[in-house]
Amino acid sequence: MTSKQRAMLRSMANTMDPILHIGKDGITAGTLQQCEEALEARELFKGTVQQGCDLSAREALTILCEETGAEPVQVIGRRFVLYRPSRENPRIVL
Backbone φ/ψ region at 88: left (φ over 0), alpha (ψ -120 to 50), beta: alpha
Phi, psi of 49 (to 5 degrees): -110, 120
Contact indicator for 26, 53 with CB cutoff of 8 Å: yes
User: What's the Cα-to-Cα distance from 86 to each of 52, 64, 69, 70, 89, rounded to whole Å?
Assistant: 32, 16, 11, 10, 5
Domain that holds residue 35: 3-83
88: in domain = no
pLDDT at 91: 80
94: in domain = no
32: in domain = yes
92: in domain = no
Beta strands in the chain (DSSP E): 20-22, 44-49, 71-76, 79-83
Q: What is the CATH number of the domain that holds 26?
A: 3.30.110.60
35: in domain = yes
Full pLDDT tens readout for the chain, 94 residues = 889 999 999 999 999 999 999 999 999 999 999 999 999 999 999 999 999 899 999 999 999 999 999 999 999 999 999 999 988 877 887 7
Q: How many domains does the chain have?
A: 1
pTM of the model: 0.89
